[in-house]
A and B are shown apart, each in its own frame.
Chain A
Amino acid sequence: MAEEKKETKEAEKEEAVEEKEAGKKEKAEEERIEAGEQKIYKQVKSIVFSVFSPKMIKKMASAKIVTPELYDKEGYPVDGGLMDIRLGVIDPGLKCKTCGSKLKECIGHFGYIELARPIIHINFVSIISNLIRCTCRECGRILIPKDKIKKCNLELDRVEKERGIEERRDKVKDIISNLKTINKCPYCKARQQKITLDKPTTFFENEKRLSPIEVRSRLERIPDEDCFLFGLNPEHVRPEWLVLTILPIPPVTIRPSITLESGERSEDDLTHKLGDIVRINQRLFENINAGAPEIIIEDLWDLLQYHITTFFDNNIAQLPPARHRSGQPLKTITERIKSKEGRIRHNLAGKRTNFSARTVISPDPMLDLNEVGVPKVIAMKLTIPERVNEWNINYLKKFVEKGSTKYPGANYIIRPDGKKKKITEETKEASLEEIQPGYIVERHLMDGDLALFNRQPSLHRMSMMCHRVRVLPALTLRLNPAVCHPYNADFDGDEMNLHIPQTEESRAEAEILMEVQTQLISPRYGLSVIGCVQDAISGNYLLTKELNLTRNEAVDLLAAIGIDDFSKLPRKENISGKEVISVLIPEDFNFTGRARSCIADSCKGCENWVGDKCKNDSRVIIKEGKLISGIMDRALLGEGSGLLLRNIHKKYGKKFTIDILGKLFRLGIEVLLKVGFTTAISDTDLPEEAKAEIKETLNKAEKEVDELINLYYNNKLEAFPGKTLRETLELKILEVLNKARNTTGALVAQHSDLKSHTKIMADSGARGNLLNLAQMAACVGQQAMRGKRIEKGYRERTLSSFKKGDLSPEAHGFIRNGFKSGLEPWEFFFGSMTGRDSLMDTALRTPKSGYLYRRLANAMQDLKVEYDNTVRDASKRIIQFSYGEDGVDVSKSENGIINVKRIIKSTLS
């Protein structure tokens, strides 16, 4: 009779398994006949969920379990025991008595035990309770008059049609909740008693206990047509099946035992639990047959109920969880399915894979953007299967000849019948002889093979891209630093994963859909996600800003980045940096843009526009492939903004873009190699008069704050609307102090050495900003927590070194020193407070945003664009009539739009 959740799940699995099995058989058949042809797999079309009937359980079972013993003296599974080999095999060497196959081939078979007395299934308690409460205790009809039943049914069908099955469930709840108060059966006029549920599984009728036998007999009386009103489908579930009379025993293959080092066997949690159930069940049988007193039988019955309940779910609120002898709770069926580590999320929705590698990453700018450096050790472990045919047999034989220990060799050959054979020094010769068309050789990874490269957390699709393998010495995976951004990788010990696609289909998809150059434009905002970073930006900035080279130096530079055609280099002895960079740009490329230093919307009326030139040289003009004016910095080359790159991509395509990007990147680095680039403490040196000026500013600000505080104490401060006086004071103080810090920042910027490397980095956008410089050189500024000055600490003061009620800047986290001059102890302490605050912020944010992401992904994963351009979900409901209202793919747009202005301009000119 009874049914289980697990069962239901098994039922579903079963069906899938059946299908698959069929597929497998067919596959095997075919392989024998036409070796190695494409296999045809069956496909699962649908899965029906239902509750097992007792009959069905018996029918599908291959053994009846009668004894709690597991093994006999020889260690051989006992017949009729829980490890019965009719349930499948987990020991090597044994054969399954049911299907005759060996370990790993046999998927296992169910058994069953007959329960001495019926037991209520814990997961169905609530529906059982509804059923017996809302049906007549005498005749079993639902407590709704005949004329209303039809109406209710119609209503339910309507709801399901309009709102879906979940809404129907709610509606059923509505209908049922109204029935609990009815106390007279409209059919047989019997009076109804009050039924209560004593959690977890005991029912009472007017204080009198209802045994599961009674419950079951009441459920049996409910007619099929009334079941619908409870949301049950009698085809799949008869109410009485919800009370177990037969318990299915899961196959041993899902509860394998582990052999410890000592040779002892350690059984799975489920086996333990089942052992308890069988033992108690036997005892109950014996006692009933011996005619034991009712009390003993009841006790045993309750015990059996407990064991079966915890077999399904060991986390019931009212029951103590079943434990190991060590005290650790057993992991039973519910715990196996549930949660992140459970079957569904861990094994079904996520899977493990072979042909993958993981190790530490390190940078190598000499690699192309779409390459990945793979250590030789890894390349000799990961393989690519290549099928032998007449034309490549000699090529593949070379790999086999080298064996698995020499690179580039091969590790396995696969015969047409699917047998794998390892290539070792000994078998090498034999394999070489044996090989012929139809065989598959698993050869080592070589340059140019495709590989998927991934770094967790994989938050967007650029977290997994396809690279081409470059086998290199040493032991780390290497990548071009320009692709760090999409992976969000750095080299402080990050590890990344590498996967090798094994079939032609997967390689084709990887190459066409996932290779780095296809992922240049972010689907999030339609701009480049890959651009120059760090040194590459500083280098190009320096080059275009001020460098003048001799012809030899220029040729050196270009040669170093792999350019051998110098015809674009002007024929003169002194060559400017702009002319060097122009060599990379194609001759028909035109572009105007603005560098970071540009401050206005247009050059007209801009204060930096002197004569017909920009003082900061921030107007970038490229005409026919020549950089005429302007400085290349982050606004043009970097990720995100990189407008120059976006335009090149539009005009010349992806392949060309990553090519030129790689060259620009290397150029930047080569330039820095030539010039020398570092950062030094002397970068933060300031002239004496600047120091004095800064001191002056800060003193003035502090004085100003003092005045404000005085005003406050004298009640002369005017409150902002909606704020108290104190809040107003805080706001005003913050304003003054922030202004002071900004002034010092401006002073530092004004007085610092323009040629200092720190300044160059900040100006080019490579790293850091002027604020960082000011913090080092002059003044760290106000430390804020939650948008306010620091207030926490002791009573009425932040630290014990201050007076109570001190409102001055320094007592509330204003750090007036710079990092170079060093902080006072209290200042350091305030700094560490905010530092810790932001650390906590990050630590708390990660799981929160992770959960948000998971929910979003789960809710939206089946939205896709249909062939009619509508966006629909899995059940074909229309979500949008046209994606994003205009059907434009963001990753093919320019910052989310079709750039009409550009089109008009280019057409008209």
Chain B
Amino acid sequence: MNMIDQYEDKLPKSIIAKLRENIPKGTSDSKIKQILENTVKEYNEARVEAGECVGVISAESIGEPGTQMTLNTFHFAGVAEMNVTMGLPRIIEILDGRENLQTPMMEIYLKKPYSEGKNIRDLALSIKETTLKEIAFEFLLNMAQGVIEIKLNSEKMKELGITDVFLSKAISSQIKGYSTRTTKDSLILMSKGKEESLNEIYRNKEKIKDMYIKGVKGISQVLPVKRLDEYIIITAGSNLVEILQLPEVDKERTITNNIFEIANVLGVEAARQAIINEVFKVIESQGLNVDMRHIMLVADIICSSGLVKGITRYGVVSEKSSVLARASFETPIKHIINAALVGEVDYLNSVVENVMLNQPIPAGTGLPNLVTKVKK
């Protein structure tokens, strides 16, 4: 088997690993050598050639099946799952590098006792973001006295483990100029001191409705689910930073579908992998076959500057060095004007500029040059 080690510089790691796995034990050294030689031969035959326009091929490989994908936003992955954006809209969302997703989602894995189902419901509920209006029946305005009275749903509060004291503390820390007082199943906010205009008090009432009480901000729905033989929590809404700080959470496997959060918390390399995973998931769910390499290349170009940049005129395309290449995409006037102001030079290094000037492009068969002396 150490025969294989000698080939580590001739074959990529993935193939070496596969060889190790698949060569039956007890194969003679000469046979192994033969296998290795054959593999190297096949590998070398299958290598990309220099000058190959891999970018265009990847773009085609993702763009072409795009026409076959469904636009249907929602899909059901079984009865007990959440609705997730799938299909073409999701691909567009990922590649655009949008920060606000249509359906942000997390899969929270848990540490040992909890992953076996201990207190799973309570845990899930404690993660969920609770706003005041969820635990209130109604909001009453007493204009004359400048008082807002909130009728509370004590059942719901109990379920969520919110006490009156906790509640009034949470509220008073977020709104100024009001004193809080609790009575039996209602909470009264009284304006301190000066009279407030009707408008303002009304505005405050509306503000209070969405006031954050407890849980993790941004998590709007929670769903404990048994996956394989452990319990996990699926959430609608995402907040990776805060979820990872919870002690019950398995930090290694918990994941969100928001690429920006991943980039911020775990870095670009993680974001790149997240893009690959997410795009692949969508393409697979549509029953299409696209090779991993194409998705990797797209993810790589999105992340190559160290930040997650979308494939838009503001993102990846704006980073091109060639004025004409940028102008040929979108907003040509803007690009030409800006270039003129700086005195930019276009060295015609890429494809479109040379197409524009009727010159051979520097790729594929246009790449090799012949140097020769021309007789005058």
Question: Residues of A with Cβ closer than 8 Å to B?
Answer: 3, 5, 8-9, 11-12, 16, 40, 43-51, 123-124, 127, 163-166, 169, 231-233, 235-237, 313, 334, 337-338, 342, 344-345, 348-349, 351, 457, 459-461, 509, 513, 523-527, 640, 720-722, 731, 735, 786-787, 841, 844-846, 848-850, 852-853, 855-867, 869, 871, 873-875, 877, 879-880, 882-890, 892-893, 895-896, 898, 900-901, 903-904, 906-908
Contacts and interface: CB of A to CB of B under 8 A. Distances in A.
Interface string B311-354: 11000111111111101110011001111111111111111110
B273 interface: no
A337 B327 CA distance: 10
For A5, A123, A509, A888, the residue with the greatest tally of chain B CB atoms inside 10 Å of its CB is A888
Contacts of A879: 297, 300-301, 304
B359 A44 contact: yes
A344 B342 contact: no
| Closest 10 pairs (CB-CB, A-B) | A863-B55, A853-B63, A236-B343, A884-B293, A860-B55, A874-B350, A862-B350, A849-B66, A886-B12, A8-B340
A604 to B, nearest CB: 18
Residue in B48, B92, B328, B338 with the greatest tally of chain A CB atoms within 10 Å: B48
Nearest to B347: A46
A526 B305 CA distance: 30
A849 B63 contact: yes
Contacts of B60: 459-461, 523-524, 853, 857
Interface stretch (B38-46, B152-160, B205-213): B38-46
A51 B327 contact: no
Nearest to B15: A898
B374 interface: yes
20 contacts: A47-B348, A237-B340, A349-B356, A460-B60, A722-B80, A845-B71, A852-B91, A853-B66, A859-B59, A859-B301, A861-B350, A864-B52, A865-B52, A869-B50, A879-B300, A883-B54, A890-B57, A892-B45, A898-B43, A904-B23
Contacts of A735: 79
Nearest to B222: A722
B340 A855 contact: no
Contacts of A852: 63, 66, 88, 91-92, 95
A9 B336 contact: yes
A862 B72 contact: no
B34 interface: yes
B61 A523 contact: yes
B345 to A, nearest CB: 5
B297 A885 contact: no
B106 interface: no
Contacts of B147: none
Nearest to A164: B319
B60 to A, nearest CB: 4
Interface in B21-50: 22-24, 27, 31, 34-35, 38-39, 42-43, 45-50
Contacts of B92: 848, 852
Contacts of A49: 323, 336, 339-340, 342-346
Interface residues of B, number: 117
A237 B67 contact: no
A857 B56 contact: yes
A867 B363 CA distance: 11
B343 A856 contact: no
Contact of B42 (A858, A867, A903): A903
Contacts of A884: 291-293, 296-297
A349 B352 contact: yes
Nearest to A160: B342
Contact of B74 (A460, A787, A883): A787
A51 B343 CA distance: 8
Contacts of A345: 328
Contacts of B64: 459-460, 524, 853
Given A47-B345, A337-B332, A865 B76 contact: no
B359 A43 contact: yes
Given A722-B221, A859-B59, 14 more contacts: A124-B341, A459-B63, A461-B60, A527-B289, A722-B223, A787-B72, A787-B75, A841-B70, A852-B92, A853-B62, A863-B55, A871-B297, A875-B349, A908-B31
Nearest to B321: A875
Contacts of A883: 48, 52, 54, 293, 297
B12 A887 contact: yes
A900 B301 contact: no
A166 B336 contact: no
Contacts of A40: 374
A877 B350 CA distance: 13
A865 B54 contact: yes
A348 B351 CA distance: 12
Interface of B: 12-15, 18-19, 22-24, 27, 31, 34-35, 38-39, 42-43, 45-67, 69-76, 79-80, 82, 88, 91-92, 95, 221-224, 289-294, 296-298, 300-301, 304-305, 311-312, 316-325, 327-329, 332-333, 336-353, 355-357, 359, 362-365, 367, 374
Nearest to B343: A236
A722 B320 contact: no
B49 A237 contact: no
B127 to A, nearest CB: 13
A896 B61 CA distance: 13
B79 A720 contact: yes
Contacts of A344: 327-328, 332, 356
Contacts of A848: 71, 88, 92
Contacts of B65: 524
A164 to B, nearest CB: 6
Nearest to B307: A163
Contact of B317 (A232, A859, A866): A859
B352 A16 contact: no
A43 B358 CA distance: 10
A877 to B, nearest CB: 7
B340 A3 contact: yes
Nearest to B63: A853
B46 A525 contact: no
A888 B48 contact: yes
B340 A51 contact: yes
Given A849-B63, A864-B51, A907 B35 contact: yes
A350 to B, nearest CB: 8
Contact of B328 (A349, A457, A525, A889): A349
B319 A166 contact: yes
A51 B341 contact: yes
Nearest to B338: A169
A166 B301 contact: no
Question: Most chain-B Cβ atoms within 10 A of its Cβ — which of A46, A856, A898?
Answer: A856
Contacts of B49: 865, 889
Contact of B365 (A16, A509, A526): A509
A48 B345 contact: yes
A849 B323 contact: no
Contacts of B374: 40
B82 A861 contact: no
Contacts of A3: 340
A8 B82 contact: no
B53, B71, B91: residue with the most chain A Cβ atoms closer than 10 Å: B71
A893 B82 contact: no
Contacts of B79: 720, 731, 735
A903 B35 contact: yes
Contacts of B340: 3, 5, 8, 11, 49-51, 236-237
Given A231-B341, A855-B312, A903-B39, A886 B15 contact: yes
A200 to B, nearest CB: 15
A16 B346 CA distance: 12
A232 B342 contact: yes
B31 A907 contact: yes
A525 B289 contact: yes
B349 A862 contact: yes
Contacts of B363: 862, 864
B46 A841 contact: no
B328 A896 contact: no
